[in-house]
Structure 1
Amino acid sequence: MAPRQERTRHSTSPPRGLARRSLLAGAVALGAAGAVGVTSGCSRVATADAGDGGRLLEQLRAKGSVRIGLAGEQPFSYIGKDGKMTGAAPAIAKRIFRELGVEDVQPFPTEFGSLITGLNSLQFDTVAAGMYINPARCEQVIFADPEYQMLDAFLVRKGNPKNLRTYQDIADSGASMATGVGYAQIEYAKAAGIKKVTTLPDQLAGLLAVEQGRVDVFIGTAVTVRNVVKETRSAKVEATEEVTPIMDGKPVIDVGGFAFRTPETALRDAFNRELHKLKRTGELLEIMRPFGFTKDQMTTITAKEKCKP
């Protein structure tokens, strides 16, 4: 996992097209949903101590519900304006867990940097947040095969006055950059020689920071960046074309998937079987399409490949 960063606090006002009431409603819903997850009475007991692949799936079927950790990042997983869980990952979770005999999918919202800690401390049963798969995270959790692949994009002022189209452009120009707490883009920025990276809670805070001139560019996944511009209808900010990060001189194509506690291989394997059925039939794309994903984001890369150092 990318190193945890401290949040930068700013006084902000909501952009045109996204009312303050909506933001406050979402915040209240997020807190309420989190409280439900904490007090649901579910037993926090590890189920795979014997190294047998675990009995968590059996337990989930018996109680008829599964708790999923999500992180409030559109379009991956978040609480909508109506207070309900939504996003590509929860939609996939509902479909797959229904096939596994678990009808009720309960959200457990938290910040992105706390997802793995929350999973391993038994606060929820799986991470459903489109989490990028990389070797550092593979040392802490096990991943299902990814449901998507993704490049980055930049949020910049309208017209892109500093002509920022690559990470190297940011480093060479001395432009000020921000990204999300715990995002992989922090490491990509460091690899490009960008000296100072500001971290913000989410892509909406990033858009506000660019609009108000506090940073020159906010970096996120291409789908996330395009989505926040579309949702806010900002007249001051635009999304760039897709950007390929470079690490150790090689281009990086990130992939994201569901994470499970390391001993729970039986649940992970059952999830994988259903995921691959959705891939073969094309249903996976149809589930994800309403959230801005296209055929270009579909992938055959495996978690095993991305876990290699």
Structure 2
Amino acid sequence: MAPPARTIRTYNRRQGGISRRSLLAGVAAFGALGAAGCTRVAAEGTVEGGDLLDRLRERGEVKVGIANEPPFGYVDDDGEPTGEAPEVAKVLFGRLGVERITPVPVDFSALIPGLKAQQFDVVSAGMTINPPRCEQVLFADPDFLMLDAFIVAPGNPRNITTYDDIAEQGLTMATGQAYAQIGYAAAAGIPGSKVLILPDQVAGLDAVAQGRVDAFAGTNVTVTGVTEGSDRAEASEPFQPMVDGEPALGAGGFAFRLTERNLRDAFNEELHRIKDSGELLEIVRPFGFTEAEMTDLTAEELCR
């Protein structure tokens, strides 16, 4: 039975689709420390089934780690978790028999450490799936795929369209803590001394508007959302970041401890049901997502 309809606080962005690109091949293996329960710690590199889903059903609550980053996951004015990932979590965990979603806001860089330390049960923050992260957590299949974009000065006077433009002109850029864009910048040859790490995209817009950096890098939906209606900065055209000549795909999803494969698999089953029915798009559309951001990629492909 479907849950009752909910009022969702919307997050606006400019209209326009983003075409999907081919898969970036990588090398990864699952490994890293994970916690199986309250009384023991799994061996290094262990992937186990786990019984967390049963325990979540028993207590009727799941704690979700979010980074307070619109539109992916944040706490609204009423103290409720919302955004693309929490709204998906509400539907999927509801169908798994877990009624209540409790947000645990942390810095983006603390999401994986916090998950492994059992501060919360799942990362619900639109986290990009890539091989280094796959070594530490189990990802569900991605629920979106999108391109990157830059916050730039009005009129984009430096004509910044890719990371290569920043590297070739010797410009400065900013991005968020632990963002995948840090790696994209390094792959393009932008020295670390030219990359400023900021808390979020709002701080990024301020840094660009004040002339402290030439651009702020983020996902297209993040950048277009924060610059909508601003006369201080604008969004560049979306583009596909490249690493070693291959497309680096910005596909994001939910992350689970290595010891909770059963929960991840059950979550994945429900996720595929709402993908196939088209319900996923209807859930995330209020936050600026379109058909162009839907994907049939798998976590296995992205981690490989």
User: Does TM, scored on the shorter chain, surpass 0.5?
Assistant: yes
Shift of 1:222: 0.2
Count of matched residue pairs = 264
* Percent pairwise identity: 57
Q: Distance in 1 between matches of 2:40 and 2:138?
A: 15
Q: Distance in 2 between matches of 1:160 and 1:122?
A: 44
Of residues 77, 101, 118, the one that matches 2:114 is 118
Structure 1 match to 2:288: 292
Question: Following superposition of structure 1 onto structure 2, how do residues 265-304 of structure 1 map, counting pairs within 5 Å?
Answer: 265-304=261-300
Question: Following superposition of structure 1 onto structure 2, how do residues 19-30 of structure 1 map, counting pairs within 5 Å?
Answer: none
Q: Distance in 1 between matches of 2:96 and 2:41?
A: 18
Give the RMSD, CA atoms, in angstroms.
Answer: 1.6
Greater CA drift, 122-131 or 83-92: 83-92
Q: 1:175 is paired with a residue of what secondary structure?
A: coil
Q: Distance in 2 between matches of 1:89 and 1:45?
A: 29
Structure 2 match to 1:100: 96
Whichever residue aligns with residue 293 of structure 1, its letter is F
Structure 1 match to 2:241: 245
Shift of 1:82: 3.6
Q: Is the 8 A contact 1:48 1:55 kept in 2?
A: no
Structure 1 match to 2:123: 127
Closer, same or farther in 2 for the Cα pair 1:134/1:46, shift >3 Å?
farther
Shift of 1:73: 1.0
Shift of 1:223: 0.2
Shift of 1:175: 1.5
Structure 1 match to 2:218: 220
Q: Higher relative contact order by CA 8 Å / sep ≥ 6: 1 or 2? A: 2
Question: Following superposition of structure 1 onto structure 2, how do residues 1-309 of structure 1 map, counting pairs within 5 Å?
Answer: 44-45=38-39, 53-195=49-191, 196-230=194-228, 233-308=229-304
Closer, same or farther in 2 for the Cα pair 1:51/1:149, shift >3 Å?
closer
Q: 2:165 is paired with a residue of what secondary structure?
A: helix
TM-score (norm 1): 0.83
Q: 1:62 is paired with a residue of what secondary structure?
A: helix
Shift of 1:80: 2.2
Whichever residue aligns with residue 199 of structure 1, its letter is I
Deviation digits for residues 194-214 of structure 1 (CA, Å, limit 9, x no counterpart): 122110000000001111111
Off by >6 Å, runs of 4+ in structure 1 = 47-51
Q: Is the 8 A contact 2:47 2:261 kept in 1?
A: no
TM-score (norm 2): 0.84
Q: Is the 8 A contact 1:47 1:56 kept in 2?
A: no
Closer, same or farther in 2 for the Cα pair 1:64/1:45, shift >3 Å?
farther
5+ residue gaps in structure 1?
Answer: 1-42
